[in-house]
Structure 1
Amino acid sequence: MAMTMAKSITMTIAKFNVNSNEKKTITSLIYSNASS
């Protein structure tokens, strides 16, 4: 459930021209929340 949500959020972020460092940070936060 959490992984599916993380993937869809990541996909949504990827649609925008997000700075790659910012994208990495957001993705890291999502995955650390999903694992705990």
Structure 2
Amino acid sequence: MKKIDWDLVQIWVLTLTIPVMIIIGALLPTVFANYR
């Protein structure tokens, strides 16, 4: 069982979270506009 490199995990989480947030931020207004 390999020891988890938490520094690497944090870097991955950060690099993956930023694009996801951008995508969600871009999609939410259009979703709300469609439901109105």
TM-score of the two chains, using structure 2 as the length reference? 0.47
In terms of Rg, which structure is larger?
A: 2
TM-score of the two chains, using structure 1 as the length reference? 0.47
Q: Which protein, 1 or 2, shows the higher relative CO under an 8 Å CA cutoff with sep ≥ 6?
A: 1
